[in-house]
Structure 1
């Protein structure tokens, strides 16, 4: 079963994501709306300024017609002065039909810049290129009529900067309001993000509590999508609890590695098992039938449990797995279900440790006036099948094959306190891990047509003997 990986802690929180998303949408919307309104406002403002100038210049043309007719320059200056003072006009002038300046006040275009064919045009103040914030002059012209005769032109000069001053102030206010609105939207988006993400955060914390075993379900009840998710998680949690209880129960009957392997192989596709290269150890208590006849069943149980505990400690130290207990016999597998590159040597070293441990126990038993316990051990290595074996109603994880059968036969052939291995196993171990063996011989084993060459193992190399002696002390002291 694959377990989903926990999300990275470097990712943005949901609150931050919601806030950013809402702010981005709001900002884009406000920019589009502001741009649209600003463009319309500029066009409307320019139109109003143009109409304002046209009205003023027309009024001035009417007001200066009589003084121009009678060459009353003083009256002309009075009229132009009143327009400059009262109507925010930058300049005023009267030109003849030949573009000659008759009267002028304020800022004015040169005669060559007078375009009598245009009623309105613009002249930049600082540059030829105009944009929204450049200063430029608006030139308005209107013919001065005396009856049906055109006697000249009235010219008004309006400063765009002066005429749009109020508009720029409004624009500044709009920008300030936009900034304030964005701040309000950001705070609102943050609060909304928290309201949306807090239930999810609570759900994440609750699932972590379930994973750590602090709670077994989420008590919250909601009538929305999150509530449906809580119900689904609670259902899943009950399944996980059942699985954990099953694993805990299996660990009482099987080693941890075997229990994990069984859980992983619940899928029918994997029921066929897998071929492995492993080593099997069979250890049998010699004369156990006679011993059991002299003691009570309770004492038999106590004796077996005590020695099985010791054997399990020896197996764990050398990465072995207790496959099963068969009466007074124990079967230990090395290299399966957990891979072990040195399973051959570990099996032999475990057997030597078991024999030495039993001898140390016998010394203690002799002082207590108890009968000795002796072991015989057979070991073999080779190809075997590891997997679930049994019926549909009851199965167990084990290894099977000819190599396993031979290990059992060698155990039966062994004598008291003897460890028997097959010749090929000795050849695999000896080059890298020197061991002391004796009594090379060939024997005929039941189920085999040809004789089998065997060795009797006595001990490991000297440095490893010291390690084993210290380990026996720890096992007897209950520290392993």
Structure 2
């Protein structure tokens, strides 16, 4: 018996339509005749009002541009630009005229004021204006073109006022069926409230929120579409979270916001780059087990990541015992030059603090070499078609790597021009250093050794280091 009722219920459900339009649910309650008649009448009135206003506006616009063409005829012949400017300024200052211009027959603008399209182009979509043109003629010769731009705001306000009147009248007539419609509206508003709550949850980052899909009408389709969207956002969030573990947050945002343009190539940027590697790493790796070497690198690279974020930079790549940082690439940073140098100084100061702890624990000290440079470089996807890496390349990048190789343990080297830059020189302390020959350059590169930061900047850096070491110790 139970299976019989189950089959009957399944058969009834299978014969139900898969889509029940909302119009069918409202058809038995709301008087379609009243509402439809009022809507039709309102549409006719509204269209007549719009046509009348448009005709009036066209008449005014043609009159204004013809008058401008006639008034500017002699001025164009005399090439009297000052009088043309005065004529147009007076015209633009009147009523609904948003702009006006006079061009010669070659298209050169002789005088203009207000909003006027360039050449023969139209105004941008949504400009809420109309342009009227008229040739400036003297006898049988065309001297140029007059243009007048009129605002459509008055027309739109009049149409909106008419529409409001029609809607108010329709609403008053529709009150005949309002009582029943209210009851049905309350019934239909429940899923809408669920949609609003679900939308707020998604906006707050709760991508696990889902809606029931039991309805078989338009709202049911909307709920299913919403659930598919929430699932897609959840998957994208998971991908972004995983991606940000392998690349910097800025690079992850750059990649995810341009998924339709994932190809080789990039854009020219003015940015800064820092190269740092561990001096004597080969000897250190020979004396320590592999797991301790990996742990040592992970510890220092974690600190480097904190330093880069503090100075608005990002890690471009890890290279064995070295790291490459970029500043002003994935986000605009007008102070990227100082931030790059300060990150190198902060790294050396942090390494000095950690070395005191390591020596107290009987462990060998660790030292870094740092090279900094700034200049134009290409930022974008590099590599092969099937394997890309977002990075920066260019002569400025190569020079930073050469400076790192020339730096001694514990040193931060930078080109002399960078140290003397207006954004940098008052905030760093530098020492003269030798000119370094660089492969591919005809002349050696003058360099300087960055000894530290100015007192105010140094205090802020040391305070941040204290908090960072405290946070890491607590963690």
Q: Structure 2 length as normaliser, TM-score?
A: 0.61
1:469 CA drift (Å):
2.0
Correspondence 1:190 to 2:182: yes
1:443 CA drift (Å):
1.5
1:186 CA drift (Å):
3.1
1:289 CA drift (Å):
0.7
Find the counterpart in structure 2 of residue 384 from structure 1: 377
**Cα distance in 2, alignment partners of residues 29 and 240 from structure 1:** 44
Among 458, 461, 469, the alignment partner of 2:454 is 461
**Cα distance in 2, alignment partners of residues 302 and 28 from structure 1:** 76
The farther-off stretch of 301-310 and 394-403 is 394-403
Find the counterpart in structure 2 of residue 172 from structure 1: none
1:449 CA drift (Å):
2.9
**Cα distance in 2, alignment partners of residues 266 and 275 from structure 1:** 20
For the Cα contact (< 8 Å) 1:440–1:455, is it kept in 2? Answer: yes
Residues 437-477 of structure 1: CA distance to partner in whole angstroms, max 9, x if unpaired?
11333110123232111111101112222222222211111
| Unaligned segments of structure 2, at least 5 residues | 1-25, 39-172
Distance of aligned partners of 1:249 and 1:369 in 2 relative to their CA distance in 1, 3 Å threshold: same
For the Cα contact (< 8 Å) 1:376–1:418, is it kept in 2? Answer: yes
Correspondence 1:361 to 2:351: no
1:214-225 superposed matches below 5 A: 215-225=208-218
Find the counterpart in structure 2 of residue 417 from structure 1: 410
Distance of aligned partners of 1:335 and 1:431 in 2 relative to their CA distance in 1, 3 Å threshold: closer
Residues 72-113 of structure 1: CA distance to partner in whole angstroms, max 9, x if unpaired?
xxxxxxxxxxxxxxxxxxxxxxxxxxxxxxxxxxxxxxxxxx
The farther-off stretch of 238-247 and 302-311 is 238-247
**Cα distance in 1, alignment partners of residues 184 and 445 from structure 2:** 80
For the Cα contact (< 8 Å) 2:379–2:392, is it kept in 1? Answer: yes
Find the counterpart in structure 2 of residue 297 from structure 1: 290
Q: What secondary structure sits across from 2:271 in the alignment? A: strand
Q: What secondary structure sits across from 1:448 in the alignment? A: coil
Distance of aligned partners of 1:273 and 1:265 in 2 relative to their CA distance in 1, 3 Å threshold: farther
**Cα distance in 2, alignment partners of residues 252 and 28 from structure 1:** 59
Residues 360-411 of structure 1: CA distance to partner in whole angstroms, max 9, x if unpaired?
1101111101100001100010001111222232222111111111111110
Among 392, 401, 419, the alignment partner of 1:399 is 392
For the Cα contact (< 8 Å) 2:413–2:447, is it kept in 1? Answer: yes
1:75-90 superposed matches below 5 A: none
Q: What secondary structure sits across from 1:466 in the alignment? A: helix
Q: What secondary structure sits across from 2:252 in the alignment? A: helix
Find the counterpart in structure 2 of residue 445 from structure 1: 438
Distance of aligned partners of 1:261 and 1:269 in 2 relative to their CA distance in 1, 3 Å threshold: closer
The farther-off stretch of 256-265 and 336-345 is 256-265
Q: Structure 1 length as normaliser, TM-score?
A: 0.60
**Cα distance in 1, alignment partners of residues 284 and 433 from structure 2:** 31
Q: What secondary structure sits across from 1:338 in the alignment? A: coil
Among 348, 358, 379, the alignment partner of 2:341 is 348
The farther-off stretch of 371-380 and 454-463 is 454-463
For the Cα contact (< 8 Å) 1:23–1:189, is it kept in 2? Answer: no
Q: What secondary structure sits across from 2:213 in the alignment? A: coil
Q: What secondary structure sits across from 1:215 in the alignment? A: coil
For the Cα contact (< 8 Å) 2:207–2:231, is it kept in 1? Answer: no
**Cα distance in 1, alignment partners of residues 174 and 424 from structure 2:** 79
**Cα distance in 2, alignment partners of residues 406 and 305 from structure 1:** 26
Among 260, 267, 277, the alignment partner of 1:284 is 277
Residues 294-340 of structure 1: CA distance to partner in whole angstroms, max 9, x if unpaired?
11111011000100111111111111111111111010101011110
For the Cα contact (< 8 Å) 1:216–1:241, is it kept in 2? Answer: no
For the Cα contact (< 8 Å) 1:210–1:217, is it kept in 2? Answer: no
Correspondence 1:241 to 2:234: yes
Pairs aligned (count): 312
**Cα distance in 2, alignment partners of residues 185 and 227 from structure 1:** 26
Correspondence 1:327 to 2:320: yes
Find the counterpart in structure 2 of residue 318 from structure 1: 311
For the Cα contact (< 8 Å) 1:23–1:186, is it kept in 2? Answer: no
| Unaligned segments of structure 1, at least 5 residues | 1-17, 31-180
Displacement over 4 Å in runs of 4+: 22-30, 181-184, 429-432
**Cα distance in 2, alignment partners of residues 214 and 419 from structure 1:** 46
Distance of aligned partners of 1:226 and 1:24 in 2 relative to their CA distance in 1, 3 Å threshold: closer
Distance of aligned partners of 1:27 and 1:214 in 2 relative to their CA distance in 1, 3 Å threshold: closer
Find the counterpart in structure 1 of residue 104 from structure 2: none
